């Protein structure tokens, strides 16, 4: 009994790796003894009696199938009740999927990829065509597991909120703008190669979460337009047990100064299936100066090394030993040296190398009242997300990226406030760190408007070809007239708009107890992660940044 419990716990710890590989939340759990590994899209089931190496190979293959779109419903439906076809499909598609995410694979697992087999297909549809042919195919290794179409389809249908096998009809006459690329459904969660979240954890993590977290759900809330809650209390109030309320007032902004100016942004009305033009007023409000100690930051989260590998642009390098063109000056000097009887220099070429930093990152920190809830570590969600924001800002600045940090909260559609803790051209000094420490959570979170303004700031002031928006939030999109379902749809639409304009979007929820499904409804198919503890971020920040940037590049090409 103890041994089984130990195996289950060990498997649960592999959930973070599986999630990073699949770019979505995955859990790893023990399956039936002696049966091959399989996945239902949320959990990878592996034989607890297998060796650690075989378990690692199994979860890697199953996660890669999810990451590469190999288990999309349209493909899986064709494999139902056809086990031979499913096995032949797996024999080809598994290698193609592994090759597609090879940059994310640990070095010890790169040997799983058979490049000759992977080259036979360039998509799941091509792999299915090969499987249907009479071409001789070798059986996949046992460690690749199997595909179980029926439970996989049932799980996908459940995730989309429909009955198994039921197709969700499209609304006639609904207006879907060009900002959303094909495959983006505003009212559902469509997962693709770049959808996350990462870091769900296993059964032990869920148990600890239930024991330590505050009672907090996105499903609660008052009627549309009411002065509704942002978080729930731990103790009863005169309004009844578990009454939700927020009495905190945001103390991050000076009400004079920059409030006199503002920009208006549209808002997506999910009920009417249309935009409300110039609906929200967004103001950049200068932070109040406070006599506090500056925020002290170290690289204890291990972010600098994985971030240093990202955002590199091509730069022309002179005097190279090989390259694409001749360096005229170096060639002339070499000729002169040779005529003078000296040994000429052989580095006479020009080459384009990725040495120049070419990334602008805007960090958008949620300081609404709901982030004042305590997290599992004893600190509040605000304190944990503020610490991560500081660490990311310092790490990105030190490696040479352009970085800005804004905090946001709202009090209705006419008072969406963004607090510029650090603008792109500001120095990273003690004043910035004092502003960050002085942030106090309060008010509400009109997330869509904040994302739209942050995207505009990136576009106007980023000054690089690659741009990334990182949203640090507990995922509670709520304000006056901005109930959870409405707010979630608007936030998803705002993220899709940003990606269609070439802005990568990554949403991080640090230390919050918000349900993974609820975060998916708010962040949609944008790359997002729920990280139980800030110390775990360093293990997944590299794949998350890459996925977000790659998603923006793909969507920008699609919408051109």
SS3 track for 205-231: HHHHHHHHCCCCCCCCCCCCCCCCCCE
Query: What average pLDDT does the segment 192-219 reach?
Result: 40
What is the residue-averaged pLDDT of the chain?
Answer: 77
pLDDT in tens, 411-462: 999 999 999 999 999 998 888 988 998 899 999 999 999 999 999 999 999 9
Q: What predicted TM-score, i.e. pTM, was given to this entire model?
A: 0.53
Q: CA 478, CA 228: separation in Å to the nearest integer? A: 8
Rounded Cα gap, residues 416 and 266, in angstroms: 13
> Strand runs (DSSP E) across 367-500, as ranges?
402-410, 416-422, 466-472
Query: Domain extents for the chain?
Result: 2-159, 291-304+358-558, 312-356
- Please check whether residue 462 is in contact with residue 424, taking contact to mean a CB–CB distance below 8 angstroms: yes
pLDDT digits (tens, 9 = 90+) for 274-298: 999 999 999 999 887 666 666 666 6
pLDDT higher than 60, residue 165:
no
Please name the helix (run of DSSP H) or strand (run of DSSP E) that holds residue 29, with its range, or none.
Answer: strand 27-30
The structure tokens listed for 213 are 């977290």
Distances (CA, A) of 515 to 11, 159, 460, 526: 21, 13, 35, 17
Query: Burial letters for 430-459: b for 16+ Cβ neighbours within 10 Å, e otherwise?
Result: eebbbbbbbbbbbbbbbbbbbbbbbbbbbe
Residue with the larger pLDDT of the pair 243 and 169:
169
Residue 247: pLDDT over 50: no
Per the listing, tokens 């994310």 go with: 104
Helical packing angle, 381-398 and 430-437, nearest 10°: 160
Reported as a single tens digit per residue, the pLDDT across 371-405 is 998 876 778 999 999 999 999 999 998 888 899 99
List the beta strands (DSSP E) in 334-426.
349-357, 359-366, 402-410, 416-422
Six-digit token pair at 250? 């945001």
DSSP conformational letter for 284: E
Half-sphere exposure (Cβ direction) of 143: Cα atoms closer than 13 Å: 17
Closest CA to 364 of 269, 292, 467: 467
| pLDDT band (50, 70, 90) for residue 32 | confident
- The span from the first CA to the last CA of the chain, in angstroms, equals 58
Nearest to 471 by CA among 413, 415, 414, 512: 512
pLDDT reported for residue 229: 36
CB 161 within 8 A of CB 155: no
Angstrom distance (rounded) from CA 305 to CA 542: 9
Q: What is the largest CA-CA distance in the chain?
A: 96
Q: Which residues contact 316 (CB under 8 A, 6 or more apart)?
A: 350, 351, 352
**CA–CA gap between residue 17 and residue 64 (Å, rounded):** 11
Residue 404's Cβ-count burial label (10 Å; 0-12, 13-18, 19+) is buried
The candidate with the shortest Cα–Cα distance to 20, out of 71, 67, 55, is 67
* Range of weakest confidence among 275-279, 341-345, 361-365: 341-345
522 has pLDDT over 70: yes
Q: Does residue 400 or residue 10 have the better pLDDT?
A: 400
Rounded Cα distance between 75 and 132, Å, is: 12
Paired with 357 in beta bridges are: 312
Lowest mean pLDDT among 31-45, 207-221, 383-397, 515-529: 207-221
CATH superfamily of 291-304+358-558: von Willebrand factor, type A domain (3.40.50.410)
């Amino acid at each position: 009994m103890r041994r089984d419990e130990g195996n289950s716990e060990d498997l649960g710890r592999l959930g973070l790796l599986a999630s990073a590989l699949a770019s979505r939340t995955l859990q790893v759990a023990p399956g039936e003894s002696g049966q091959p590994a399989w996945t239902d899209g949320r959990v990878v089931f592996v034989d607890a009696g297998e060796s650690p190496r075989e378990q690692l190979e199994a979860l890697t293959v199953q996660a890669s199938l999810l990451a590469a779109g190999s288990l999309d419903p349209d493909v899986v439906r064709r494999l139902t009740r056809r086990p031979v076809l499913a096995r032949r499909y797996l024999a080809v598609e598994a290698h193609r999927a592994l090759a597609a995410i090879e940059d994310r694979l640990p070095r010890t697992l790169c040997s799983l990829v058979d490049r000759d087999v992977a080259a036979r297909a360039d998509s799941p549809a091509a792999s299915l065509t090969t499987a249907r042919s009479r071409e001789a195919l070798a059986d996949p290794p046992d460690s690749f597991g199997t595909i179980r179409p029926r439970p996989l389809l049932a799980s996908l249908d459940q995730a989309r909120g429909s009955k198994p096998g039921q197709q969700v009809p499209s609304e006639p006459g609904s207006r879907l703008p060009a900002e959303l690329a094909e495959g983006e459904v505003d009212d559902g969660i469509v997962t693709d190669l770049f959808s996350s979240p990462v870091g769900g954890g296993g059964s032990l993590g869920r148990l600890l979460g239930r024991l330590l977290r505050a009672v907090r759900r996105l499903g609660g809330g008052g009627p549309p337009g009411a002065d509704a809650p942002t978080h729930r209390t731990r103790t009863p109030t005169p309004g009844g047990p578990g009454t939700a309320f927020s009495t905190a007032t945001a103390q991050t902004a000076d009400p004079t100064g920059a409030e006199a100016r503002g920009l208006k942004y549209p808002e997506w009305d999910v009920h009417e299936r249309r935009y409300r033009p110039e609906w929200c007023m967004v103001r950049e409000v200068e932070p109040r100066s406070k006599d506090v100690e500056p925020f002290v930051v170290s690289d204890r989260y291990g972010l600098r090394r994985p971030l240093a590998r990202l955002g590199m642009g091509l730069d022309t390098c002179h005097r190279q030993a090989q390259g694409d063109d001749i360096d005229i000056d170096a060639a002339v000097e070499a000729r002169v040296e040779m005529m003078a009887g000296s040994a000429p220099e052989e580095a006479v070429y020009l080459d384009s190398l990725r040495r120049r930093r070419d990334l602008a990152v805007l960090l958008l920190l949620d300081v609404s009242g709901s982030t004042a809830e305590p997290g599992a570590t004893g600190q509040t969600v605000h304190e944990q997300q503020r610490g991560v924001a500081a660490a990311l800002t310092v790490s990105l600045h030190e490696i040479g990226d352009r970085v800005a940090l804004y905090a946001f909260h709202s009090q209705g559609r006419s008072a969406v406030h963004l607090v510029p803790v650090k603008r792109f051209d500001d120095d990273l000094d003690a004043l910035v760190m004092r502003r960050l420490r002085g942030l106090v959570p309060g008010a509400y979170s009109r997330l869509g408007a904040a994302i739209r303004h942050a995207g505009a700031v990136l576009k106007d002031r980023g000054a690089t070809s690659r741009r990334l928006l990182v949203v640090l939030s507990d995922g509670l999109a709520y304000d006056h007239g901005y109930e959870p379902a409405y707010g979630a749809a608007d936030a998803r639409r705002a993220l899709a708009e940003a990606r269609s304009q070439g802005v990568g979007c990554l949403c991080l929820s640090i230390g919050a107890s918000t349900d993974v499904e609820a975060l998916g409804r708010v962040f949609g198919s944008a790359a997002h992660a729920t990280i139980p503890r800030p110390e775990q971020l360093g293990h997944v920040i590299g794949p998350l940044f890459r996925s977000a940037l790659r998603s923006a590049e793909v969507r920008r090409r699609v919408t051109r």
